[in-house]
Amino acid sequence: MEPIRETLKRVVNAPAFSERYNDMRKEVLEHPGVQKFLEDHSADIDKSIVDKGLGKLYEYINQSHDCNKCPSLGNCINTLKGFEPNLVLERGNIGIAYTPCRLKNEHDNKRRASSMIHSMYMPKEVLQATFSDFEPDARRMEAFLAAGDFLEKATGPDNLPEKGLFLYGKFGVGKSYLLSAMANELAEMGVKTVLVFVPEFMREMKQAIGDQTLQEKVDYVKKADVLMLDDIGAEAMSSWTRDEVLGTILHYRMAERLPTFMTSNFSYSELQHHLTYSQRGEKEDLKAARVMERIRALTIPVKLDGPNRRN
């Protein structure tokens, strides 16, 4: 049997192998990334180091750089999915260090941002809202500019304008969408936002009395960095949900100067009328006025108009 050393020598010295080796070496050394690396380390690298590290250099050039060969993060071709190779010189040897690629960074940023938004009963499609997809026509421009003004003044969780917006108008004009777009922008700043679909939330609060989670849920909502109450006025408001749930949340946020946003089909005056009458038909002007006083203190009213975009 031929010794392994002799076998290797015979294979390496074969014309076909030598030709393939030279072609590979030429391909490696002509790669822009390799050329830059060798230029940056010209004082420390000689031919012997290049020859010894040729395998690493070849591994480097056959991977994706700046995601140029990857259609998506899931289809990453690199040795470590989501990480791109970088040539390094370690103790006189050429090696590869891997760092998160652009697509992975974008993916991780989106995950971090989404963790900043807690939704309670909001539709998933609304939560994907972006400002770029919001069409600020003449009847919606005021609301668009007001939202932009809030975001321009907000620089992070410790620096937020005290007053939010009260967006009102008929069905389907984009009130909930605009709120969600704002929540996504705030998430990019590291601001935690809680979005609440009020009718469903009030129904759950009634059930929470039985399972003894009422106080926990109310506390979670009222202490949010930014609170967005969607579709207030659409619920069948009882005296208890108005005074003990909504009133408690709004009083806390007013006292702590925490920004609060609301959407409604009602204007301020129409909402006050809605809050005045309990499910039993009782008229409670003073209690409704007390809740509306807090809403006015917390928000700036802005009307949205236009066609129903849900049709």
Q: Which domains can be identified in the chain, with CATH numbers?
A: 4-104 (no CATH), 115-303 (3.40.50.300)
The two beta strands, 93-100 and 83-90, are antiparallel
- The number of helix segments (H) and strand segments (E) in the chain equals 15, 8
Residue 110 has pLDDT above 70, yes or no: no
Residues 189 and 153: beta-carbon distance below 8 Å: no
Q: What is the pLDDT of residues 125-163, one digit of tens each?
A: 777 888 888 888 888 999 999 999 999 999 888 899 999
The Cα 302–Cα 144 span in angstroms is: 10
Residues 29 and 36: beta-carbon distance below 8 Å: no
The Cα 107–Cα 86 span in angstroms is: 20
- Regarding predicted confidence, which is higher, 277 or 297? 297
Partnered with residue 197 across adjacent β-strands are 230
The CA–CA distances, whole Å, from 143 to 126, 133, 161, 209 equal: 17, 15, 16, 37
pTM: 0.66
If you count them, how many residues does the chain have?
Answer: 311
Structure confidence at residue 152 (pLDDT)? 94
Partnered with residue 86 across adjacent β-strands are 97
